Amino acid sequence: MKFLAVSCLLLMPLWLRAESLVMYTEHFPPYSYEKDQQITGLNTELVRRSCQIAKIQCEFRLLPWLRAYEAAQNDPKSGLYSTSRNPLREDAFQWVGPLAHASASMYWLTSRLDAPPRTLEQAKQYIVAVARGDVYELYLQSQGFEVDVNLLRFNSKSDAVLPFLHGKVDLLIASELILPVWLAEHQQLRTVVQPVIDLSAVGHNYLALHPEMPPALVERLQQALNELKATGEYQQLMEYFLQPKRLQSDTLPATQG
């Protein structure tokens, strides 16, 4: 049996033995989520197809954001998505992307009678919900916000939605793509909130790879993603996952190659 196991290992393709990566992500529909014990979502499938095209074996793991972030920092053969790329993180990873993303804003309940803040300085007078270790927590702290003063931390981005809807926090950070999904999970329409402060400059979604990852491997993944965009498969996945009630579907679109 030992001889057979060793023989199988020797026959295994070199890239499969040497280039096996773990891709960490969080529950962040429609970009990444678990359905029928399978991790899927728009950016999951973009990363998965990039791995396939680059001939890299990739294992996907879904964890709370902070745990996923720490795991990706500690594992030299790993990546993390959907990760906002900005100067606060630039040197911590190598980057492949951009992946699918949308503009983010701070949102305010339209049912409130008081006037909403329109600048970050005004927002400091309110409680803003953030996920632990998320780029928006880091960004707002760099702008003078403080945890337990005007920042209230949650284990995940979506954990803040219900407290926000119940008025326990004043401002929710979300993108144009994510917000309708979150609201639908609580039987709420998009009209219950309004965007008040634009945060689109904070950064777009990328695949963040460990800084010790061989640059040639990073380049192969980037080229694979570029190929997805050039052939139209990227747009096909965008249309598939962003159509109404996509999260209720059990099938994936046909892929090329």
pLDDT tens by residue, 183-194: 999 999 999 999
52 and 173, same structural domain? no
The closest alpha carbon to 33, from 81, 75, 67, belongs to 81
211 and 183, same structural domain? no
Q: How far apart are CA 240 and CA 252, in angstroms?
A: 8
Domain of residue 113, residue span: 104-202
111 and 198, same structural domain? yes
Q: 3-class secondary structure for 200-239? A: HHHCEEEEEECCCCCHHHHHHHHHHHHHHHHHCHHHHHHH
Domain count, the chain: 2
233 and 197, same structural domain? no
The verdict on residue 8 lying in a domain is no
Q: Which residues pair with 121 in a beta bridge?
A: none
183 and 223, same structural domain? no
pLDDT tens by residue, 156-174: 899 999 999 999 999 999 9
The verdict on residue 54 lying in a domain is yes
Q: In this structure, what CATH number is given to the domain that contains residue 190? A: 3.40.190.10
Percent pLDDT > 70 in the chain is 88
59 and 70, same structural domain? yes
Entry pTM: 0.80
88 and 29, same structural domain? yes
**For the chain, what is the radius of gyration of the CA atoms?**
20
pLDDT tens by residue, 89-111: 999 999 999 999 998 999 999 99
